Amino acid sequence: MKTLLLLAFSILSIWGSVYAEEYSQSYVILIKGQVAGSEEVEERTGAGNTLISSSDHDILVADGLETKRMTFSTKMVLAEGGKTPVSYSCRYTSGNTGDFYEVVVDDDEIRRTLSRGGNSTETSIPLEKNSVIVDINVYHLYDHLARQYDFRKRGRQMFAGFIPIVGNDIPVALTHLGDEKLELRGETLELKNFRIEFIGIGNGTFWVDGDNRLVRLLLPTQDLEVLRKDLAN
Protein backbone atom coordinates (compact mmCIF):
# COMPACT_ATOMS: atom_id res chain seq x y z
CA MET A 1 0.00 0.00 0.00
CA LYS A 2 1.62 3.24 -1.10
CA THR A 3 1.86 6.28 1.12
CA LEU A 4 -0.83 8.72 0.08
CA LEU A 5 -0.25 12.42 -0.29
CA LEU A 6 -3.91 12.86 0.47
CA LEU A 7 -3.90 11.99 4.17
CA ALA A 8 -7.14 13.05 5.80
CA PHE A 9 -7.87 11.56 9.20
CA SER A 10 -11.27 10.39 10.32
CA ILE A 11 -12.53 9.23 13.63
CA LEU A 12 -14.21 6.22 15.17
CA SER A 13 -14.98 6.69 18.85
CA ILE A 14 -14.56 3.87 21.31
CA TRP A 15 -16.54 5.14 24.26
CA GLY A 16 -20.28 5.61 23.85
CA SER A 17 -22.76 7.31 21.54
CA VAL A 18 -26.37 6.99 20.42
CA TYR A 19 -27.32 5.73 16.97
CA ALA A 20 -30.47 5.40 14.91
CA GLU A 21 -31.29 1.81 13.99
CA GLU A 22 -31.29 2.66 10.26
CA TYR A 23 -29.46 5.51 8.59
CA SER A 24 -27.95 6.39 5.22
CA GLN A 25 -26.04 9.38 3.87
CA SER A 26 -23.97 10.41 0.86
CA TYR A 27 -20.99 12.76 0.78
CA VAL A 28 -19.08 14.53 -1.97
CA ILE A 29 -15.29 14.88 -1.62
CA LEU A 30 -13.66 17.95 -3.14
CA ILE A 31 -9.97 18.73 -3.61
CA LYS A 32 -9.10 22.31 -4.49
CA GLY A 33 -12.79 22.85 -5.13
CA GLN A 34 -13.08 20.04 -7.68
CA VAL A 35 -15.04 16.84 -7.14
CA ALA A 36 -12.55 14.06 -6.43
CA GLY A 37 -14.63 11.31 -4.85
CA SER A 38 -17.65 10.12 -2.93
CA GLU A 39 -18.59 8.32 0.27
CA GLU A 40 -21.79 6.30 0.79
CA VAL A 41 -22.80 5.36 4.33
CA GLU A 42 -25.40 2.93 5.71
CA GLU A 43 -26.22 1.79 9.23
CA ARG A 44 -28.49 -1.12 10.20
CA THR A 45 -29.27 -3.40 13.10
CA GLY A 46 -27.46 -6.76 13.08
CA ALA A 47 -27.68 -10.04 14.97
CA GLY A 48 -27.94 -9.69 18.73
CA ASN A 49 -29.07 -6.07 18.37
CA THR A 50 -25.61 -5.00 17.26
CA LEU A 51 -25.31 -1.98 15.01
CA ILE A 52 -23.48 -2.38 11.71
CA SER A 53 -22.13 0.73 10.00
CA SER A 54 -20.84 0.21 6.44
CA SER A 55 -19.39 2.62 3.91
CA ASP A 56 -18.15 2.56 0.30
CA HIS A 57 -15.54 5.02 -0.94
CA ASP A 58 -14.27 6.20 -4.30
CA ILE A 59 -11.52 8.84 -4.29
CA LEU A 60 -8.61 10.17 -6.32
CA VAL A 61 -5.26 9.89 -4.52
CA ALA A 62 -1.67 10.82 -5.39
CA ASP A 63 1.39 8.73 -4.57
CA GLY A 64 3.97 11.31 -5.63
CA LEU A 65 4.21 10.13 -9.23
CA GLU A 66 0.64 9.93 -10.50
CA THR A 67 -2.97 10.28 -9.49
CA LYS A 68 -5.04 7.12 -9.21
CA ARG A 69 -8.60 6.28 -8.30
CA MET A 70 -8.85 4.25 -5.10
CA THR A 71 -11.92 2.35 -3.92
CA PHE A 72 -12.39 0.72 -0.54
CA SER A 73 -15.08 -0.35 1.91
CA THR A 74 -15.30 -0.15 5.69
CA LYS A 75 -17.40 -1.96 8.28
CA MET A 76 -17.88 -1.21 11.94
CA VAL A 77 -19.79 -3.39 14.41
CA LEU A 78 -21.03 -1.90 17.67
CA ALA A 79 -22.34 -3.84 20.65
CA GLU A 80 -26.01 -3.86 21.64
CA GLY A 81 -27.18 -0.32 22.29
CA GLY A 82 -24.83 1.10 19.68
CA LYS A 83 -22.41 2.47 22.25
CA THR A 84 -19.24 0.36 22.12
CA PRO A 85 -17.41 -0.65 18.91
CA VAL A 86 -16.21 -4.24 18.98
CA SER A 87 -14.62 -4.39 15.52
CA TYR A 88 -13.68 -2.25 12.54
CA SER A 89 -12.27 -3.16 9.14
CA CYS A 90 -11.19 -1.51 5.90
CA ARG A 91 -10.70 -3.44 2.67
CA TYR A 92 -9.30 -1.99 -0.56
CA THR A 93 -11.29 -3.02 -3.63
CA SER A 94 -9.20 -1.25 -6.27
CA GLY A 95 -6.14 -3.06 -7.63
CA ASN A 96 -5.42 -6.74 -7.06
CA THR A 97 -3.39 -6.73 -3.82
CA GLY A 98 -6.33 -7.43 -1.52
CA ASP A 99 -4.87 -5.12 1.14
CA PHE A 100 -6.89 -4.69 4.34
CA TYR A 101 -6.71 -3.94 8.01
CA GLU A 102 -8.89 -5.07 10.88
CA VAL A 103 -9.23 -3.71 14.39
CA VAL A 104 -10.69 -5.57 17.39
CA VAL A 105 -11.49 -3.69 20.60
CA ASP A 106 -11.34 -5.71 23.84
CA ASP A 107 -11.84 -4.64 27.44
CA ASP A 108 -8.22 -3.60 27.88
CA GLU A 109 -6.57 -3.43 24.46
CA ILE A 110 -6.89 -2.54 20.78
CA ARG A 111 -5.60 -5.21 18.38
CA ARG A 112 -4.83 -4.49 14.75
CA THR A 113 -4.11 -6.86 11.86
CA LEU A 114 -2.65 -5.25 8.72
CA SER A 115 -2.25 -7.07 5.40
CA ARG A 116 -0.13 -5.61 2.60
CA GLY A 117 0.60 -7.57 -0.54
CA GLY A 118 -0.39 -10.82 1.15
CA ASN A 119 1.88 -10.27 4.18
CA SER A 120 0.16 -9.75 7.53
CA THR A 121 1.37 -8.11 10.73
CA GLU A 122 -0.38 -7.76 14.08
CA THR A 123 0.04 -5.28 16.89
CA SER A 124 -1.82 -4.23 20.03
CA ILE A 125 -1.79 -1.38 22.53
CA PRO A 126 -3.60 -0.76 25.84
CA LEU A 127 -7.12 0.65 25.53
CA GLU A 128 -7.31 4.13 27.05
CA LYS A 129 -10.53 5.60 28.40
CA ASN A 130 -10.35 8.43 25.86
CA SER A 131 -9.22 6.26 22.92
CA VAL A 132 -10.55 6.82 19.41
CA ILE A 133 -9.67 5.08 16.17
CA VAL A 134 -8.23 7.47 13.58
CA ASP A 135 -8.82 6.22 10.06
CA ILE A 136 -7.77 7.59 6.67
CA ASN A 137 -10.20 9.11 4.17
CA VAL A 138 -13.29 7.82 6.06
CA TYR A 139 -15.21 10.96 6.85
CA HIS A 140 -18.56 9.89 8.33
CA LEU A 141 -16.68 8.70 11.41
CA TYR A 142 -16.52 12.33 12.53
CA ASP A 143 -20.07 11.62 13.72
CA HIS A 144 -18.64 9.45 16.47
CA LEU A 145 -16.05 11.97 17.59
CA ALA A 146 -18.66 14.73 17.91
CA ARG A 147 -20.62 12.48 20.27
CA GLN A 148 -17.53 12.14 22.46
CA TYR A 149 -17.37 15.84 23.20
CA ASP A 150 -18.41 16.73 26.76
CA PHE A 151 -20.43 19.95 26.57
CA ARG A 152 -20.50 20.20 30.35
CA LYS A 153 -16.72 20.63 30.41
CA ARG A 154 -16.49 22.47 27.08
CA GLY A 155 -13.13 23.87 26.00
CA ARG A 156 -10.36 21.89 24.28
CA GLN A 157 -10.64 18.15 24.95
CA MET A 158 -7.97 15.53 24.27
CA PHE A 159 -8.27 11.99 22.88
CA ALA A 160 -5.82 9.19 22.12
CA GLY A 161 -6.11 8.53 18.39
CA PHE A 162 -5.20 4.99 17.33
CA ILE A 163 -4.05 4.84 13.67
CA PRO A 164 -4.57 1.29 12.31
CA ILE A 165 -1.91 1.54 9.59
CA VAL A 166 0.69 2.76 12.09
CA GLY A 167 -0.54 0.64 15.00
CA ASN A 168 -0.06 3.39 17.57
CA ASP A 169 -1.60 6.54 19.08
CA ILE A 170 -1.39 10.23 18.30
CA PRO A 171 -2.91 13.04 20.41
CA VAL A 172 -6.19 14.39 18.98
CA ALA A 173 -7.84 17.57 20.28
CA LEU A 174 -11.46 18.66 19.78
CA THR A 175 -12.87 22.12 20.52
CA HIS A 176 -16.47 23.30 20.13
CA LEU A 177 -16.30 26.68 18.38
CA GLY A 178 -20.01 27.49 18.56
CA ASP A 179 -23.41 26.89 16.95
CA GLU A 180 -24.51 28.08 13.51
CA LYS A 181 -27.64 28.07 11.36
CA LEU A 182 -27.73 27.01 7.72
CA GLU A 183 -30.65 27.76 5.40
CA LEU A 184 -31.27 24.91 2.95
CA ARG A 185 -34.29 24.59 0.66
CA GLY A 186 -36.56 26.49 2.96
CA GLU A 187 -35.36 24.65 6.08
CA THR A 188 -33.03 25.82 8.83
CA LEU A 189 -30.30 23.42 9.96
CA GLU A 190 -28.90 23.89 13.46
CA LEU A 191 -25.20 23.03 13.26
CA LYS A 192 -22.39 22.59 15.78
CA ASN A 193 -18.96 23.76 14.66
CA PHE A 194 -15.78 22.01 15.87
CA ARG A 195 -12.05 22.46 15.49
CA ILE A 196 -10.11 19.20 15.15
CA GLU A 197 -6.35 19.00 15.78
CA PHE A 198 -4.17 16.02 14.89
CA ILE A 199 -1.23 17.10 17.01
CA GLY A 200 1.95 17.42 14.98
CA ILE A 201 0.14 16.60 11.73
CA GLY A 202 -2.60 19.09 10.87
CA ASN A 203 -5.83 20.82 11.81
CA GLY A 204 -9.33 21.15 10.41
CA THR A 205 -12.88 22.30 11.03
CA PHE A 206 -16.12 20.37 10.79
CA TRP A 207 -19.85 20.84 11.30
CA VAL A 208 -22.46 18.34 12.51
CA ASP A 209 -26.25 18.56 12.71
CA GLY A 210 -28.45 18.11 15.77
CA ASP A 211 -27.99 14.34 15.61
CA ASN A 212 -24.19 14.74 15.46
CA ARG A 213 -24.07 13.66 11.82
CA LEU A 214 -21.33 15.15 9.66
CA VAL A 215 -22.50 17.97 7.39
CA ARG A 216 -19.24 19.58 6.28
CA LEU A 217 -15.49 19.08 6.83
CA LEU A 218 -12.62 21.39 5.89
CA LEU A 219 -8.95 20.34 5.99
CA PRO A 220 -7.10 23.38 4.59
CA THR A 221 -3.62 21.81 4.55
CA GLN A 222 -5.02 19.11 2.26
CA ASP A 223 -7.10 21.56 0.15
CA LEU A 224 -9.91 19.16 1.00
CA GLU A 225 -13.61 19.64 1.66
CA VAL A 226 -16.22 16.97 2.41
CA LEU A 227 -19.83 18.03 1.98
CA ARG A 228 -23.14 16.28 2.45
CA LYS A 229 -24.38 15.51 -1.06
CA ASP A 230 -27.67 17.40 -0.74
CA LEU A 231 -25.70 20.55 0.08
CA ALA A 232 -23.38 20.12 -2.90
CA ASN A 233 -26.18 19.90 -5.49
**Sequence spans of domains, the chain:** 9-232
Tens of each residue's pLDDT in the chain, 233 residues: 444 444 556 666 665 545 555 899 999 999 999 999 999 999 998 888 888 999 999 998 877 778 889 999 999 888 876 667 789 999 999 988 899 999 999 889 999 999 999 899 999 999 988 888 889 889 998 988 888 899 999 999 999 988 888 889 999 999 999 999 887 667 788 999 999 999 999 999 999 999 899 999 999 999 999 999 988 87
Residue 69 CB neighbour total at 10 angstroms: 11
Instruction: List, in sequence order, every residue forming a beta bridge with 104; answer none if it has no partner.
Output: 87, 111
Q: CA distances (Å), 69 to each of 63, 95, 135, in order?
A: 11, 10, 18
Long-range CB pairs of 181-188 (<8 Å, 24+ gap) are 182/215, 184/230, 184/231
The pTM (predicted TM-score) of the whole model is 0.87
